[in-house]
Amino acid sequence: MARLTPLEIQRAAFPRRLQGFDPDAVREFLSRLAEQVEEDARQRGELRAQIAKITREVDEYRQRADALNEALVAAQCSAEQTITKAEADAQRIVAEAQALADRLVEESAHRAENLETVTAQLRTRRRTSRADLKRLAEVLGGVVTDDEAAEQRESEVPSIAVLRPRERRGKGDR
C-alpha cells in the first residue's frame, strides 16, 4: 500500500451514507491528521538531513581515526627502529669504550712495568755510582796523603840545587 501524503489526506472525499459521520468533523479531523503527517514528514526530512550530516561526520571521524591509527603504527614502527638503532649504537659505544679501557689498562700496566724496570736500573746505577765515588774518594784521599807525604819530604830536602860552574884548569892541571 502506497503511503499517503498530507495533501491526499486533506483532499480525501468519502461517499455519503445515511446516518454517517458528520462531514465537518471528519474534515476537521483529517485536516489535523494531515498537519501531523506533514509535521512528521518535515521532521523525518530534518532527521534524514541530520542523519546524513552525522553519517558524513562519522565517515570523516573514521577516516581521521584510520589516518591516526596509520600514523600511530608508523610512529610506533619508527620509535621501535629508533630504539633498536639506539640500543645497537649504545652496545657499540660500550664495546668500543670497553676495548679502549682494556687497551689503556694494558698500556698503563706496560708503562708501569717499564717504570719499575727503569727505577730498578737507576737504583743500581746509583749504588754503582756511590761505590765508584767512594773508591774515587779513597783514591783521592790516598793521593792527598801521598802528596802531603811528598810535600813533607820535599821540605826536608832542598829543592833547588845550585849549579856552580867548575873551575877550569889548564891542560896540564889535570
Tell me what pLDDT residue 159 has.
Answer: 55
Tell me what pLDDT residue 164 has.
Answer: 58
Q: Tell me the backbone φ, ψ of residue 166, rounded to 5 degrees.
A: -80, 150
Can you tell me the mean pLDDT for 55-63? 96
Share of the chain above pLDDT 70, in %: 89
For cell 562519522, the residue is: 58
Residue-wise pLDDT tens digits, 60-89: 999 999 999 999 999 999 999 999 999 999
Contact present, 72 and 44 (Cβ < 8 Å) = no
**Average pLDDT over the chain, rounded to an integer:** 87
Q: Which residues contact 30 (CB under 8 A, 6 or more apart)?
A: 9, 10, 12
Is the C-alpha dihedral spanning 134, 136, 142, 144 positive or negative? negative
Give the C-alpha separation, 169 to 29, whole Å. Answer: 204
Tell me what pLDDT residue 79 has.
Answer: 95
Give the C-alpha separation, 163 to 167, whole Å. Answer: 12
